[in-house]
A and B are shown apart, each in its own frame.
Chain A
Amino acid sequence: MRQTRFTTWKLGALMGGLLSAAAIAGPAMAADTGSFPDHNIQYIIPFGPGGESDISARLQQKYFQDITGQQLIIQYMAGGGGAVGWSQLNEMDGDGYTIMGTNLPHIILKPMGKDPGFKTEDLKNFFYFHYSPDALIVKKDSPYKTLDDLIAAAKKAPGSVTVSGSGTQSANDIANRRFESMADVKTTYIPFKGTGAAVTALLGGQVQAEWGYTTTAANHKDKVRMLAVAANERHPLFPDVPTFKELGYDMTGGAYRGMAVPKSTPEDVTKKLSEIFGKINQNPEFRQKMEDLGFVLIDVPYDQMDDFMAKRRAEYEKVAREMGIIK
């Protein structure tokens, strides 16, 4: 009997530990933002662990603690390509102690098609902190040395060049559509489940090219070559890779990441959060780590969010119409 109680106690302790780690921050309302945050903040990632949303959030964790003395507790609420999390965000406590990662183009594109349970304008984004620029990637030994080589091959036999990417109606899918219409070519886009599977298909020679990001290329530096990057400037990690703009295609974009709070969160708390994450973005060590992984940092604080979102929306709307998402 003593042994029994011992084991039960151990299980109980373990469960308790896990639960408290996952516990939703208390209902305390910060009337005075001077002391905000006075306890830990839960940071929900609406995807599974190990992806870029997770990794970039994990990098913020340390600097958040340096600035506020409180911890960011990262949790996952995966499903429906983020839709499961976003559709529940506004029902959560709006006290500033619950924040959730949001991603572009996902939060704009999804509601354009069938109803995913949330509306873009219902998400109260307070800071966008970086993006992974789209990049067209081939294997090191690929016959396509430049973007022009690939375009020439696609022109010669429309649809014969296969390009892998993560998901349908995703950042990669959109990048491919935009590229196709700008370069006036036809490729075969093959969606995979996640960037990892898409890059595996490229490395294994199953497809001829991949729509990925600078981060993908940074991760597989020795095995792949980027033909062009959809950023305004060349990435410091890849000074030799041209931007699409340099090559005459007006293409910038990628997967943008930021954070949102439930709609009921008070304005002053939202602004304070925007300030804190703005400060993290200024930390030189944080910047270095993010750049080394291939990310490009951007600063879109709360008061510039509407502008930023409107611009992105205009961009995506055109493609969404071509893709038949909007009918």
Chain B
Amino acid sequence: MDTLSFMAAALSPINLMLAIVGVAAGILIGALPGLSATMAVAVLVPVTFGMPPEAALIMLGAIYTGAIYGGSYAAILVNTPGTPSAIATTFDGFPMAKRGDGDLAVTLSTLSSMIGGLVGAVALLTLAPLLAQIALKFGPVEYFWLAIFGLTLISALSEGSTLKGFIGAGLGLLLSTVGVSVIGADIRYAFGSQFLLGGVETISALIGLYCIPVLIDLVATPSAHLEPPEEGRGIRFGEGLSLMWRGKFNALRSAIIGTAVAILPGAGGSIASLVSYSEARRTSPRSDQFGKGEPDGVIATETANNATVGGGFIPTFVLGIPGTPPDAVILGALLVQGFRTGPEMFTTNVGVTYTFIGGLFIATLLMLPIGLLIGRYAFKSIVSIPKALLVPSIAFMTIIGTYAIRNNPFDVVVMVVLGVVGWVLSRYGVKPSPIVLGLILGPIAEQGFVQGYLMGNASGSVMGAFFGRPLSLAIIALVLLSVLFPLWRAWRTRSPKETANGH
């Protein structure tokens, strides 16, 4: 009963208003490529200093939720993930928009984000202390194997040639080594430039690799950017609902994957959505449609990335360890407010915590009306803006967005160079996703490996460290499954034909 009354406090007019403003602001910031959820939260932290802690948390949570969802707009309409968590949304979202189903894709993304957000918030409300303990079982070795598992997803993500997928991933891994290494503090591939010391920023690479090729193609081809929708069709809410119903197991599975991955500090929304996408594709009866505009692809990634919001708060609140980068900012804001995370969040500060979780539920529900409204404008304007206006606007935003990440002009250069390289590579079949995957997973794999090796040496058995722990063995099994399953399926589809030929 107490829980409920605390949660109801989130319904006070002022808190409700903050949630609405937060969600709307988050959606807009998230929708702009380069302005990520982390930045959305960081920019608005000072605004919350004057507020009571509950209100501040509700506002920050709402911005965060909104931004993660807003990232899908740019992914669907411009093929550029607005935030890293929306990478996999481009796979099917953009093809849908291209053929004139952008409105449906936005509606689906809204519904999925809401469902994912709710599942994450329920996990936060009910299972937080338990799940946080599981997160602690993941050591460096497990992160190493997890990164390897992520890299094996390339076979699922690369359309056509697996080899080209691995070439892309190799390039991404190489890019990830640029700069000062965390372990050893060696300076690698900086070529004497102080700007390269900071390494290749993931979001600048993301903007370059995804957005620049779109811009080049827009200029190079006479056809319209997106197929215009039929007149007077509205938001296709009913159609979206029935597709959601069809994909209900997919949505549930993706939401659980999203929550689970977010609990592991350092993994984050991009990995959560990639894993759930490849799972959706693996289990779908229409798996050959994935990548060509399959609604289930959008459902999978968008439920998963919004589930990371609630999931990521679990280690943040229970352990004081941020689950995702925006959580780190929110944790900092909490400390400045004089709040300590940990079990106190569920004992002495329980009022604040439950009011916040209530606020998170409300923000997630508000995403539906606000999202559908903004999404409708976004879709219509992208479709109706003439190309001559669209291209410079997007180009301008990519530059501002890249610069804003860490106020480094050199990041803009890196973004443009990678964009041009990415465009050329993509013409030869090396797609941007494996490159970005390599860039994101490289440091996780590298650090996990070296830390695991050092720990193994200290305990006297390196092999024991990597192969002797039950949790690592489970992840190794997943790796094998992910590598062998496509081979097995290829073998199964081929063998009947071969037998037929034999007769």
Q: Which residues of A contact B (CB under 8 A)?
A: 1, 3-4, 6-8, 10-11, 14-15, 18-19, 21-22, 44, 48-51, 54-55, 58-59, 61-62, 74-81, 83-84, 87-88, 113-118, 159-162, 167-169, 188, 190-193, 196-197, 199-201, 203-207, 218-223, 289, 292-293
Contacts and interface: CB of A to CB of B under 8 A. Distances in A.
A114 B187 contact: yes
B28 A10 contact: yes
Given A11-B28, A84-B197, A220-B342, A197 B265 contact: yes
Nearest to A54: B332
Contacts of B335: 55, 219, 293
Contacts of A293: 335
6 contacts: A14-B28, A50-B322, A75-B407, A76-B42, A113-B185, A191-B451
B43 A21 contact: yes
B137 interface: yes
B455 A206 contact: yes
B367 to A, nearest CB: 18
Nearest to A22: B404
Interface in B173-213: 179-185, 187, 192, 194-195, 197-199, 201
A17 B332 CA distance: 23
Nearest to B458: A188
A7 B378 contact: yes
B151 interface: no
B406 A200 contact: no
State which size class the interface on B falls in.
35 or more
Contacts of A200: 136, 265, 319, 321
B381 A190 contact: no
A113 B185 CA distance: 10
A75 B408 CA distance: 12
Interface of B: 28-29, 32, 35, 38, 42-43, 45-46, 49, 136-140, 179-185, 187, 192, 194-195, 197-199, 201, 265-266, 319-322, 325, 328-329, 331-333, 335-336, 338, 340-343, 377-378, 380-381, 384-385, 393, 397, 400, 404, 406-408, 443, 447, 451, 454-455, 457-460
A48 B35 CA distance: 15
B340 A4 contact: no
B343 A222 contact: yes
Contacts of A223: 342
Given A49-B328, A80-B180, A188 B380 contact: no
A197 B181 CA distance: 15
B197 to A, nearest CB: 3
Contacts of A74: 46
A84 B406 contact: yes
A2 B385 CA distance: 11
A44 B408 CA distance: 12
B332 A80 contact: no
Given A84-B198, A204-B137, A204-B139, A188 B381 contact: no
Nearest to B410: A84
